[in-house]
């Protein structure tokens, strides 16, 4: 999935496999005038006003006793507090999530109500695997571009600390049948079935593709092999990423992060807890996590299971300017792509990037900043290799060159 946005300098924002909606931010000079030079014929300008998120924490840590809507509620209330926009201005709320909490299946609605929005504000939740929050944002863009809404909050939430764990299918059938049983004999028969140890084995949610039964880590390992990405190259890139993240936190650059107060905990949570700068020597000691013993993906060069939420405020340009708000970005274009889930599961950016650029009449050379979600260091390196390859462009993209 790819996004094209206008910043002070041209910047392409591309996100894939993101746990939460990473919103766009940049500094612009405030103006009450519409940016006609950026406009498309007969299409409304859609702008990003602001984006916020909770700290992203490794699952099973400080958020573990919460529910996902608690985190989403914080981002909704924090977003409006930061912008000064009244809740009544919001026409619609849409959130993305991968694994739904069964009690709050429409988490956008539940979080919105918990945040004090009026109950007449519509809300819905979308899912598209790990780009669910991106789908939420593009849904919001569509609502605004079509003239259905003027102001939409789009976001994402994921909570891996408490994923739904089901009884086995056999046990579920016994429980459903028992609710319909009329006679004592039938109830005793079902009770006897329930005493079998085989029916008590729970069904755990698989962190794997349903169509291939393969985890993303396994796919990443095979992708790295196909593109010749070494373990050392992955570790070096991951070390670089963690250093950048740590430096950004230290310098106070992550201004989109909202401090979060966990009940019965004295201190506020103010930063991500998965940033772990290390050394190549330490990283080299870790064993392969997926394909053993020869794989190259380890805990050090892969992302972690996360709890967190985010939200961004999108408006029509006219609405934002009428409220005296300063757009941080103009959202220009987006595309979605799909590939073979077996061999190209994590190769989306290499397909989406050229496609969105072609759609906008731009080339790689026109863009100053590319941003990809780093699910695995090797995934990024494989995609960058593909983007730089004339052979890949000819064979898979139908282009004469990259």
At the topology level of CATH, where does 2-163+305-396 sit? Peroxisomal Thiolase; Chain A, domain 1 (3.40.47)
- Give mean pLDDT, residues 129-155: 97
More confident residue, 397 or 13: 397
- Do residues 27 and 329 touch, judged by C-beta distance below 8 A? no
On the question of pLDDT at 318 being above 80, the answer is yes
- Report pLDDT digits (tens) over 342-368: 999 999 999 999 999 999 999 999 999
- Give mean pLDDT, residues 224-237: 98
DSSP 8-state class, residue 252? T
- Give mean pLDDT, residues 333-342: 94
- Report pLDDT digits (tens) over 38-71: 567 778 999 999 999 999 999 999 999 999 999 9
On the question of pLDDT at 311 being above 70, the answer is yes
On the question of pLDDT at 120 being above 90, the answer is yes
- Give mean pLDDT, residues 267-292: 96
- So what's the pLDDT on residue 17? 34
- So what's the pLDDT on residue 117? 96
- So what's the pLDDT on residue 207? 78
Pairing of strands 151-159, 329-335: unpaired
Cis before 293 (ω within 30): yes
On the question of pLDDT at 20 being above 50, the answer is no
Residue 317, SS3 per DSSP = helix
**Alpha-carbon gap, residue 345 to 334, rounded angstroms:** 19
Helix (H) or strand (E) holding 371: strand 369-371
Q: Which residues pair with 174 in a beta bridge?
A: none
Mean pLDDT (the chain) is 90
Give the residue extent of every domain in the chain: 2-163+305-396, 169-200
On the question of pLDDT at 381 being above 70, the answer is yes
Q: Give first-to-last CA distance, the chain, whole Å.
A: 19
- So what's the pLDDT on residue 310? 98
Residues 6+ apart with CB under 8 A from 399: 354, 393
On the question of pLDDT at 255 being above 80, the answer is yes
- Give mean pLDDT, residues 372-393: 96
- Do residues 248 and 374 touch, judged by C-beta distance below 8 A? no
- So what's the pLDDT on residue 33? 62
C-alpha closest to that of 49 among 310, 309, 324, 325: 325
Question: For residue 331, what pLDDT band results from cuts at 50, 70 and 90?
Answer: very high
Q: What is the pTM of this model?
A: 0.88
- Do residues 90 and 153 touch, judged by C-beta distance below 8 A? yes
Question: For residue 12, what pLDDT band results from cuts at 50, 70 and 90?
Answer: very low
- Give mean pLDDT, residues 278-297: 96
Question: For residue 16, what pLDDT band results from cuts at 50, 70 and 90?
Answer: very low
- So what's the pLDDT on residue 59? 97
- So what's the pLDDT on residue 379? 97
- So what's the pLDDT on residue 39? 63
């Amino acid at each position: 999935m790819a996004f094209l946005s206008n910043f002070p300098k041209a910047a392409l924002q591309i996100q894939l496999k993101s746990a939460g909606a990473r919103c766009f931010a940049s500094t612009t000079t405030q103006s009450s005038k519409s940016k006609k030079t950026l406009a498309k014929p007969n299409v409304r300008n859609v702008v990003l006003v602001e984006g916020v998120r909770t700290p992203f924490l490794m699952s099973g840590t400080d958020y573990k006793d919460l529910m996902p809507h608690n985190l989403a509620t914080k981002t909704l209330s924090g977003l409006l507090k930061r912008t000064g926009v009244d809740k009544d201005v919001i026409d619609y709320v849409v959130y993305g999530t991968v694994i739904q909490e069964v009690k709050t299946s429409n988490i956008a609605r539940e979080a919105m109500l918990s945040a004090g929005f009026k109950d007449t504000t519509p809300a819905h939740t979308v899912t598209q695997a790990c780009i669910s929050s991106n789908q939420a944002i593009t849904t919001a863009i569509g609502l605004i571009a079509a003239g259905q809404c003027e102001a939409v909050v789009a976001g994402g939430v994921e909570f891996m600390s408490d994923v739904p764990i089901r009884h086995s299918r056999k046990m579920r059938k016994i429980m459903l049948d028992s609710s319909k049983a009329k006679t004592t004999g039938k109830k005793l028969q079902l009770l006897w079935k329930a005493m079998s140890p085989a029916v008590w084995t729970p069904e755990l949610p698989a962190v794997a593709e349903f169509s291939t039964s393969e985890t993303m880590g396994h796919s990443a390992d095979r992708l790295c092999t196909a593109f010749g990405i070494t373990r050392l190259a992955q570790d070096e890139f991951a070390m670089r990423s963690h250093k950048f993240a740590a430096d950004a936190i230290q310098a106070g650059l992550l201004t989109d992060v909202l401090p979060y107060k966990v009940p019965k905990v004295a201190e506020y949570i103010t930063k991500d807890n998965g940033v772990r700068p290390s050394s190549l020597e330490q990283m080299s000691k870790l064993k392969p996590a997926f394909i053993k013993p020869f794989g190259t993906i380890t805990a050090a060069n892969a992302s972690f299971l996360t709890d967190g939420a985010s939200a961004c405020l999108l408006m029509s340009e006219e609405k934002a300017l009428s409220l005296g708000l300063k757009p941080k970005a103009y959202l220009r274009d987006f595309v979605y792509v799909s590939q073979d889930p077996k061999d190209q599961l994590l190769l989306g950016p290499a397909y989406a990037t050229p496609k969105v650029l072609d759609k906008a009449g731009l080339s790689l050379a026109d863009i100053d900043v590319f941003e990809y979600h780093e699910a695995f260091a090797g995934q990024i390196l494989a995609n960058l290799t593909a983007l730089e390859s004339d052979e890949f462009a000819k064979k898979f993209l139908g282009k004469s060159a990259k």
